Amino acid sequence: MFKKILIANRGEIACRVIKTARRMGIATVAVFSDADRDALHVEMADEAVHIGPAAAAESYLVADQIIAACKRTGAEAVHPGYGFLSERASFCEALEKEGIVFIGPKPKAIRAMGDKIESKKFANAANVSTVPGYLGVIDDAQQAEKIAAEIGYPVMIKASAGGGGKGMRIAWSEAEVRDGFDRARSEARSSFGDDRVFIEKYVVEPRHIEIQVLADAHGNVVYLGERECSIQRRNQKVVEEAPSPFLDARTRAAMGEQSVALARAVEYQSAGTVEFIVDRDRNFYFLEMNTRLQVEHPVTELVTGIDLVEQMIRVAAGEKLPFAQSDIKLNGWAIESRLYAEDPYRNFLPSIGRLTRYRPPAEGKAANAIVRNDTGVFEGAEISMYYDPMIAKLCTWAATRLEAIEAMGEALDGFVVDGIEHNVPFLAALMKHPRWREGHLSTGFIAEEYPDGFSPPIPDSSQESVLAAVALSASLIEKNRRERFIDRLRASSGASREEWTIKLGDNYVEARLLEGLVTIPFDMDIEIEGKVSNVVTDWRPGDAVWRGKIAGQRVIAQIRPVLNGLRMDWQGISLKAKVLTPRHAALEKLMPIKLPPDTSKLLLCPMPGLVVSIAVVEGQEVKAGETLAVVEAMKMENVLRAERDLVVSKINAKPGESLAVDAIILEFA
């Protein structure tokens, strides 16, 4: 077994590998760029080596720097994580030449399966079912249009060296093929240094289901069940689960056996994932094989009890797999939610900045569930514009799917992140979505269920009662605290007021206390809209998370003080609450409403990013839908289009310029 390994990656996956290596008694070496000098993976590792500037192309993607770090520290092997150099055969070969072990497959398998075009040709030759498409390299948009017409719309334009949803576009028409081809090539070039793209048929109402395989150097190959990865946004996975609520035992076995056959054909070693697209009739088509550890590997680990990182290390060290296919059992259900630094209320645009507060839920067994949080950040860390916006991967396990979903909902309700925008409200709302809970999924789920983007759910009467109880209890506890200050000039006001009005967003909820004395811990009967509920909590002023029971039901909600009230977040609902006397509530209703400023004649930068191009000139007339500018953030290009017919009066930005969120790019007459 290795004595020391280097992790050629950053963020949560570097931290994840370090945890397993530490448990195995293996010393670890981290590498870091200028932007990651104070990162968590640097602190966790036994040693750390600086490898270059913030841009990945000048640090994490420079193989020579990684090899030099290995030589400098005496690392015997390299774990590449995912992304960066993890699927680059030339990197694997360069390590082998230096006598350094690559913890992953051999170059032959990486070349055969790592390139989407070549992998499809290989799969076809191996009689693996594939999606209809054109596997050759496409030279220009004109050729792309011709191929798309032959295949039949809709089509998927994909980068050959792509991954993570980058360099990928769906086109429903000739015009979208032209634009999508240019965007996919541009993203592929900037993200992977390879602008080759191919086109395949886009399967309508598809599910994205993948099979985890594990193989050693002695000819042993097993599959560890499947992962359902259909909840995606812009082809980027958001929520994953294992097993799939859709597959039956026969389909699972067929997909698994085909995946094993493919792995054997390329003499695969290490952990790998075979991705399939599955239609409504459970027909499945090979998409690609990822010759690395997948982001969503924790859900497989939770249902099988197998540490995939440990097995990768052991296989690389020459050991045999300690189990056969008959030993693999799927136990319970696991769900993973990816927490991203993005604003769900602004079409999920990236957000950067400092984590002023980062308090994940406690890991380990809680009630009938297990909570796991894979992360690479800490309170006070900075989310950089240079890398992917993932903050953490929150996972829950339980005996059944619905129990795992409920555990995930509670964990998300208690996950505190401040300082940046994030998608926790969206994930929490998703856990309550009826279609998700029923398991009726497709890769178009988010686009279909949130066609106009995500906005906080409007609470129903029962949810309003819960929120009112939380707000009122917090207000009474805070009032009790203030009145106990020993240097208070005025004496305590005595028994609490009986009648209260709680303003939740724009609605007013009436409440009445059935007891006059506030106790700490809080335990009172409160009548809300005519219904009596017992409210119990040990919340204290300053706590970001309210935990307790309302009418016997567990409730976990986040509350933050704002001007004259509280901001409340629960089950995806996000609103401002005010606890008022009935007289104050009557006066509040008479207050004028302040309208937001008119920005209809401005093009604002929707996220912090780099201006790639400006597509118009001053004085130009533009039609609705025409491209105005392209802004790049976190390795993704975002096309800004005209919402209606306009005339450009002023251009305030230029290509290459870095802009803050809401910076004015264009002004219109």
* The residue to which tokens 């334009």 are assigned: 157
Alpha-helical segments (H) within 46-173: 63-73, 89-97, 107-114, 116-125, 141-151
Distance CA 406, CA 601 (A): 44
Contact 311/272 with Cβ under 8 angstroms? Answer: no
Contact 467/503 with Cβ under 8 angstroms? Answer: no
Distance CA 572, CA 560 (A): 15
Identify any residues that bridge with 504 across adjacent strands, giving them in sequence order.
Answer: 507, 577
**Residues ≥6 apart with Cβ < 8 Å to 60:** 8, 9, 10, 31, 33, 51, 84, 85
Distance CA 318, CA 528 (A): 66
Closest by alpha carbon to 118, among 161, 89, 75? 161
Distance CA 568, CA 560 (A): 7
Backbone phi and psi for residue 54, each to the nearest 5 degrees, phi listed first: -65, -40
Distance CA 261, CA 286 (A): 13
Catalytic residue list contains 288: yes
Catalytic site residue from 87, 226, 288, 301: 288
Distance CA 18, CA 31 (A): 12
Distance CA 98, CA 622 (A): 57
Q: For 375-410, what is the HEC assignment?
A: ECCCCCCEECCCCCCEEEEEEEEECCHHHHHHHHHH
Position 286, amino acid: F
Contact 414/545 with Cβ under 8 angstroms? Answer: yes
3-state secondary structure of 4: strand
**Among all residues, which ones are annotated catalytic?**
288
